Chains A and B, each alone.
Chain A
Amino acid sequence: MILPHALFFALACFALAFVLNLIRLLTAPTVTDRILTLDTMTVNAIALVVLYGIWAGTGLYLEAAVLLALTGFVGTVAYAKFLLRGSIIE
């Protein structure tokens, strides 16, 4: 009967991490920091979706986790490439 409490603790930790990321997003010193924060927010959002899936007792939310992982990585690489080269597809 320990699992619901541990699940609640993990959800609270990830939600707090998400809030810290939002603060960093607003106060980021450089543009690269902002991209890194967006990447971290995507990872934290994946964890939140997965934990909500455990809490709801369904595996449906894993599809959303897969999509978030894919688009988060592509978005980070596209942002970094845009900063370096001025264009994404050359």
Chain B
Amino acid sequence: MMLVVEWGIAAVLVGGGLFALIGSYGLLRLPQAMQRLHAPTKATTIGVGAALLASSLGDLPGGGAFSAQEWLVAAFLLLTAPISALFLAKTLILRGEAGDTLPDTRTGRPWATLEQSPPEPSPEPPIPDHPVK
């Protein structure tokens, strides 16, 4: 039984490492900015989740105890990865870095992110001075 658990944890470790490697390679190789957003936010999150799962169960074959603290880190990462991806996608759209790669919305209206913004987003928004209040 413990042998099965051990091989399972080993498979999780190997798979997680491969996922993280593919995520970082995709970040390096994918051609479009919006595509590059996909690889790290999904594949790397799965990879680190697998590493945390292996760390949580890793002591079981040696007679150790189950560890719960990893699940806190995993839950936090799974919650925050989509939020940071959304922020970065909005940054790409509003700064015009996505360029012509955004598909047509087919509703006659622009993307919702662009509707909330000034009509001509400058590629390098000026940084205003902040007087001391």
Contacts and interface: CB of A to CB of B under 8 A. Distances in A.
A39 B125 contact: no
Contact of A50 (B23, B44, B51, B76): B51
Contacts, number: 175
Contacts of B80: 69, 73
Interface of A: 2-3, 5-7, 9-14, 16-18, 20-21, 23-24, 29-33, 35-37, 39-40, 43-44, 46-47, 50-51, 53-54, 59, 62, 65-66, 69-70, 73, 76-77, 80-81, 83-84, 86-87
Interface of B: 6-7, 9-11, 13-14, 16-18, 20-21, 23-25, 27-28, 33, 36-37, 40-41, 44-45, 47-48, 51-52, 54-55, 58, 61, 67, 69-70, 72-73, 76-77, 80-81, 83-84, 87-88, 90-92, 94-95, 97, 125-128, 130
